[in-house]
Structure 1
Amino acid sequence: MNSRQEQLLHAYHAISEELASLTGLKELLDRILRISREVFHFDNAVIRLLRADGQALEVAASYGYSDCAVLGPLRLEQGIMGQVARSGRPMLVTDVRHCAAYYPGIPGACCALTVPMLAHDRLVGVFNVESTRPAAFAPEDIEPLMTVATQAAVAIENIRLLERERQLARRYQKLCEFNDRIIQSVNLGIYTLDTDLRVTSWNRRMEALSGCSAAEVLHQPLLELFPVLIQEGFDCRLQQVLQTRQAEKLQLVHYNLRGERRVQKRKLAPLLDGDQLLGLVVIVEDITEFKGLLDQMIQSEKLAEVGRLAAGIAHEINNPLTVLGYCAEVLERDDPLPAQREYLARIRSEVERLQHLTGGLLGFARAGQGQRQRLALAPLCDQVLSLLDYRLQRGRIALQRHYGVIAPVWGDVNPLKQLLMNLVVNAVQAMPDGGRLGVHLRSRRGGVELVVCDSGAGIAHTQLERIFDPFFTTKKEGEGTGLGLYLCRQIARDHGGRLWLRSRVGRGSQFHLWLPAAEEDMPPCA
């Protein structure tokens, strides 16, 4: 084996190693130029790659050329390299000075050898070497340079393929991250299960709804984590979707791990990859607040209808009461016997009491116009308490009231009556086995303070901070919407006042309402 062959073998081996280790195109081509120069002893060389549109060659790497000489693309059929690219065959020019197709490269160039770079019979580019020595390259150099060019072309294609794969991987990663951001940002609980009902994903909303982080639930059996789902029959719906591959939806009442009652809509769908069943997708929508608002609206409509009915009944009752009162008054004029006088006085007393009661019903039924006026809270309290008198007696609740000397307040009658009614009713409900109800009025800090206190079980300290939150309730299911105290606080704020609670377990509760006293120059409306 002569030295020339040894150089070629060394070059092939070196290039093979470079192909295996290098993944950057520019670095690889520069290394191929350096290795090739050790074999072919050229003065300058350039590798031009076929542009994506197939219309021109662009420089990818060069050696010995000035920047101006390799600036810009080279059209196909332009110069020796363009002709080689067009024909796909190598070209050896022993004296470029007599070659009209030669595209000037370096001063004093004499000999040039240009070969196509083919990968799987597809043109990738051209490899051109030049020398200032006459006959520097011989026909026997064509095949070795073609081998080097082919190795380079394959390497280029591999690097391009690798780069495309990296781009696709980056795009896929960005797409996954974008999709994950969407799933994590939506106000819906979304999680996925495999066919064994193990959790495979769990978004942030599900963390908030369930009280469990993704780290706690991933790869764990769903029904072991939340056995209450079996009681709800949710496991049967999951199995049904797995068997039928048909989506399901349902609405149910769910108690989470914190013991909170939530109303949820759930949508179940099969998770498919083509025809292969991978598991399930579950979408959870918490509609507790919406359901509470809907129930409150329905309740308000019912109360409005009851109010209209009560107004009609009160009006019809008032007519015979007026007749009864007048008849009793006429009979008293005829100098009745003492026993008869006592009965007549009782009749008149009961008639007045019923008229006072029906007057209160009519007051509640009338639609307020938002007009504010100077009000005395004591008569207002008496009206509310008289309406609830029967309920207090039936509940064996002893009423204690104390009204101090207080200033009037500016207020809207009906909202304030609603506020007082809610506070008293809450106190009554807190004493199912009877007790003491206190209603006190006193002057305080430039205003009037109303205190409604009961001897009930009291409220735990952990619940005090949430007692005025909408939809929060300490009552049993079906006994309240959790909006009563929230609305009471809103009414107090609308009147420039404050409402707060003091309570201890086993010691009862005290609701405090403070309203500013009416000033002489205050306007009569809000």
Structure 2
Amino acid sequence: MERLFKGLAAVMNSSTARSSTPDRLLGTVLEETLRAIDGAVLGWICLTRGLAGALHWSSVTAVPQDSVYLAIVRHIDKEIPAPAAIACADCACRRFLTGDGPPPTYTVIDHCPHLTLFEPSIGGHACVPLFAQDRPIGVLSLAKAGSAPFSPVERLFLQTVAGQLSAVLENAVLMGETRARLKETQTLLEVSRSVNSTLDLQEAVRRIARAVARVLSADTAGAYLLNSDGGQLLPFAGYHLPTALLDRLKWTPIPVKGFQFVEEALSAKAAVYTSDTARDSRVDHPVFRAFTCKSALFVPMLAKHTVVGGLFTIWWTKEHHFAQEEVRLVDAIARQTAVAIENAKLFEEVHTYAQAAKASEEKYRLLAEHVRDIIYALDADGRFTYVNPGIEAILGYAPNELTDRDFIDILTPASRHHVLEIFAKAAEGTDPFNFYELDMVKRADAVSVPFEIGMLTTRDAAGRVTGWHGIARDLTERKRLEQQLLRTERLRGLGELASGVAHNFNNVLGAILGRAQILRRVARDVEAQRGLETIEKAALDGANMVRRLQRFTRQQPEEEFFPVDLNQVVKDVLAITEAKWKDEANLDGKTIEVATSYGRIAPIMGNISELREVLTNLIINAVEAMPNGGVLTVKTEEVDGWVCASVSDTGIGMSEEVKSRIFDPFFTTKGIKGTGLGLNVSYGIIKGHRGEVTVQSQLAQGTTVSIRLPITSESAAPSQSKQASVATPGHILVIDDDEMVRELLSELLRTVGHTVVQAGGGREGLRLFQQASFDLVLTDLGMPECTGWEVASAIKRTAPRTPVALITGWALTLDRTKLKEAGVDLVLNKPFQVAEVMALVAEGLDLRDKI
């Protein structure tokens, strides 16, 4: 008896020792029990397989494919046999542990539980069940030599030892489960950190694969994404890929159809696994056979019940037996990975920002804190529950000051009405997700800022509105770019129009200029001469405007500046605009008085036609700003090395807002009557002359526009008119589809003794050329049916020594070599002056002997 008490004390001391390892603890219990009971020669403990999974003891790992196994054995005087499977299927202990029989009674049996335990001297043994939380977890067995029976005291002793051991094992189970939960939690935290710590999706998924491999003690883990047609799984990221297989694993897709292992998982949307691939026909596929492994787990990645890919976990050489807890853990990780992949795709597509707000606020807070857009959440009453820091940079509100504040408080009145309509539709259940344009106001100055807003209504299980999630994107820059694009398109259209119209204008201006110059030669009346001179200047200014339009469309290079007397420019402009400020004003029943003040000013370098255009625009604007009449004052003076000219009126004046925009292209206060380009063009001209423009104006008091142009040290002699050379009369063919131009040229040429034949088009001109001999051909460039280029080429093929001059309203910048290659010897640009025509004809007739 004393021996039993000492043994029981030793057992209890060993079971409470925290420093003992599990295998040492079980061994010590058996050893002390053997010493305590007389005649005991052999002791062993059998455990259920599920207990080993909970304990995570390497020393009690279950034998594969066996639910009950021999955990530990001790012999009184021999070496310790190795743990093994229970060989006897009819053992009462085994039936009890597998649930097929009641707990065994204390009995003596006449067989040995395992061959390695066979001992001739052993007669029978006693079995005591072990319980944890009222479920059987094992059996403590003790055998005596021969047929010695167990006394009641010994049996009570064994029951007490079994109870103590059950408590120890139960605590170990609880600790194992706690460690498992802790490991799961740590793994999920690591996965969460992997998702949130980097914007590189592939790196995040690689870290997730690493966490899966570590928690399962696997060799390799990898993520695959389903391709667009759902036929293949494409490698995306992996962890611990074998070097020898690296390239093949990275570039080998996994087919879905015909691969039963994968097909089953994707069809059921559930995990599939195999502990022994050699005995599982589902993995019998060429792709899988190329990568020989022992165990495998495949878990589909599901996003909103849709398969987007899967996680593959591999054990290359060792066999792994799967527990439901670890499969559920990997399934949760796979779903979280799928959400991360889908959210990354949504993030890359700008128009789906609002859908990303459906996810948990906490889960995506890090993302929300770093985007430049405004991400917000509203409760069912439309009050802010969350807004990210982006709102402070755009509107000036701190996030915390908007909490519990109504969303409509930061909207313009029109946008408030729109949002209230959205809320009303949400209450009715007719609010499909959409994007809206709303205007918010800044905190500091109440300036409105345009936003594109995506709002998603959140509802409870009953369908009641619980709030809204949304994303607001500042449209200020996009609106500016749209306006800039619109202006660019309008300017491009204007350029195309200018390009086409310039040719026709040059024809008209050519006729006007030529006729005015012819009439000036014969007119004797002074008034007629003055009128014709004004017409000639206006035509020349018109020609200059056309040239600037052609430069605007990059058809003509910049012109040189020459000395200009700004006083004379003012006088010319007043004469040109007299019909506006005098005749039209009198017809409208108003009187405009013109006051001039001409200072002593030095010449400036510039383009006289462009400067006349600027002053013409300013005077016309001043006249139109005095609907009831008034005083128009034009003044010139020289101040500190600048020549200044100002145009003042006593009209309606301008507000500060209008004054700040008058030089913007297409801005006008004249409605459909104005183009919004006059002052913009004038501003560009003055800047091109290295000058300055200033505006002073007050409502109801009038406006003064002043220009300043620099005085330079450059000087140039007045340009000399090109003197017409005296040419021997020749026989000239004139080809032009514009009758006015054709008649004008013919008349000019006949007045100096040439004989002229006219043709109204290219084909007619070639026909006439075949019928007679000509000393010179003048042909228009732009003609229907047959162009000037075609005429020149045809004439050179027939008569290479006949000079050809091209007359055009288009601005040609070809060099002489390219013109020669096209068959053109000379070029005359419209509108032309009489002297230019005479000089070109003389040069052309002179070429006959040089070609």
Report the TM-score when normalising by structure 2.
0.37
Which one of the candidate residues 606, 621, 625 is aligned to 1:430?
Answer: 625
**Correspondence for 1:41 among 3, 9, 17:** 17
Listed as ranges, the matches of 1:114-513 within 5 Å are 140-163=163-186, 166=189, 171=196, 175-178=364-367, 181-182=370-371, 184=373, 220=406, 225-228=411-414, 243=430, 245=432, 285-286=478-479, 287-302=482-497, 308-322=503-517, 324-325=519-520, 329=523, 344-366=525-547, 367=550, 369-378=557-566, 379-393=568-582, 394-395=584-585, 396-412=591-607, 416=611, 419-461=614-656, 466-467=660-661, 470=664, 473=667, 475=669, 488-513=682-707
What is the CA deviation profile of residues 132-166 of structure 1, one whole-angstrom value per residue up to 9, with x for unaligned ones? xxxxx966543223222232233334434544565
Equivalent residue of 1:155, what SS? helix
CA separation of 1:167 and 1:409: change in aligned 2, threshold 3 A: farther
How far the C-alpha of 1:266 sits from its partner, in A, is 7.4
Q: Aligned equivalents of 2:527 and 2:13: distance in 1?
A: 129
How has the CA–CA distance of structure 1 residues 474 and 364 changed in structure 2, closer, same or farther, with 3 Å as cutoff?
A: closer
Q: Deviation digits for residues 346-398 of structure 1, max 9, x if unmatched?
A: 44443333333223222222245313323315244445544444333335543
Letter of the 1:456 partner, please give it. G
Q: Contact 1:289 / 1:471 at 8 angstroms: preserved in 2?
A: no
1:52 paired residue number: none
CA gap 1:475/1:462 in 2 versus in 1, 3 angstroms: closer
> 1:404 Cα shift?
1.9
Deviation at 1:220, TM superposition (A): 4.6
Q: Which amino acid aligns with 1:360?
A: D
Residues 174 and 141 (structure 1), Cα distance of their counterparts in 2 relative to 1, 3 Å cut:
same
Which sits farther off after the overlay, 276-285 or 391-400? 276-285
Q: CA deviation at 1:224?
A: 11
Residue identity (%): 18
Identify if the C-alpha distance between structure 1 residues 351 and 513 changes in structure 2 by more than 3 Å, giving closer, same or farther.
Answer: closer
Which stretches in structure 2 are left out of the alignment for 5+ residues?
Answer: 1-11, 24-51, 64-68, 84-131, 136-159, 197-359, 552-556, 586-590, 719-851
Matches of 1:479 and 1:159, distance apart in 2: 79
| Secondary structure in structure 1 of the residue aligned to 2:646 | strand
Deviation sequence 1:449-468 (CA, Å, 0-9, x none): 2323232333445665x447
Q: How far apart are 1:168 and its partner, in Å?
A: 6.4
1:80-119 paired onto structure 2 within 5 Å: 81-86=57-62, 91=72
1 CA distance for matches of 2:447 and 2:169?
Answer: 77
Bigger CA drift: 433-442 or 481-490? 481-490
Distance 2:630 2:161 in 1: 118
Amino acid at match of 1:152: M
1:356 is matched by which residue type in structure 2? K
Conservation of the 8 A alpha-carbon contact between 1:398 and 1:435: yes
Conserved 8 A contact 2:618-2:647: yes
1:145 is paired with a residue whose SS is: helix
| Deviation per residue, 1:101-137 (Å, 9 max, x gap) | 89xxxxxxxxxxxxxxx9xx9xxxxxxxxxxxxxxx9
SS at 1:154's partner residue? Answer: helix
RMSD: 5.9
**Cα gap change, 1:388 to 1:380, in 2 (>3 Å):** same
Alpha-carbon distance, 1:294 to partner: 2.8
Return the alpha-carbon distance in structure 1 between the equivalents of residues 712 and 611 of structure 2.
Answer: 15
Aligned length: 402
The 3-state SS of whatever aligns with 1:475 is coil
Instruction: List per-residue Cα deviations over 1:189-223 (Å, max 9, x = no partner).
Output: x9999999999999999999999999779975769
Alpha-carbon distance in structure 1 between the residues aligned to 2:671 and 2:447? 11
User: Structure 1 pair 220/297, CA: closer, same or farther in 2 (3 Å)?
Assistant: farther
Show the 5 A alignment for 1:45-56: none
Cα distance change on mapping 1:159 and 1:521 into 2, 3 Å: farther
Per-residue Cα deviation, 1:62-87 (whole angstroms, up to 9, x for no partner): xxxxxxxxxxxxxx9xxx94232455
Q: Which amino acid aligns with 2:487?
A: G
Q: For residue 302 of structure 1, report the CA deviation from its aligned partner.
A: 4.4
Q: Larger C-alpha radius of gyration, 1 or 2?
A: 2
Given residue 288 of structure 1, which amino acid in structure 2 is its aligned partner? Q
Distance verdict in 2 for CA 1:159–1:212, change over 3 Å: closer
Tell whether the 8 Å contact from 1:372 to 1:413 is kept in structure 2 after alignment: no
Unaligned stretches of 5+ residues in structure 1: 1-35, 48-75, 103-117, 122-136, 333-343
Q: Which has the higher contact order (CA 8 A, sep 6+)?
A: 1
Q: 1:511 to 1:157 in 2, by over 3 A?
A: farther
Amino acid at match of 1:353: T
- Tell whether the 8 Å contact from 1:199 to 1:217 is kept in structure 2 after alignment: yes
Residues 653, 703 of structure 2: 8 Å contact kept: yes
Alignment deviations for residues 458-504 of structure 1 (CA, whole Å, 9 cap, x no partner): 3445665x447746957366566767656655544444333333333
Contact 1:360 1:387 in 2 (8 A): no
Query: Displacement, 1:403?
Result: 2.9
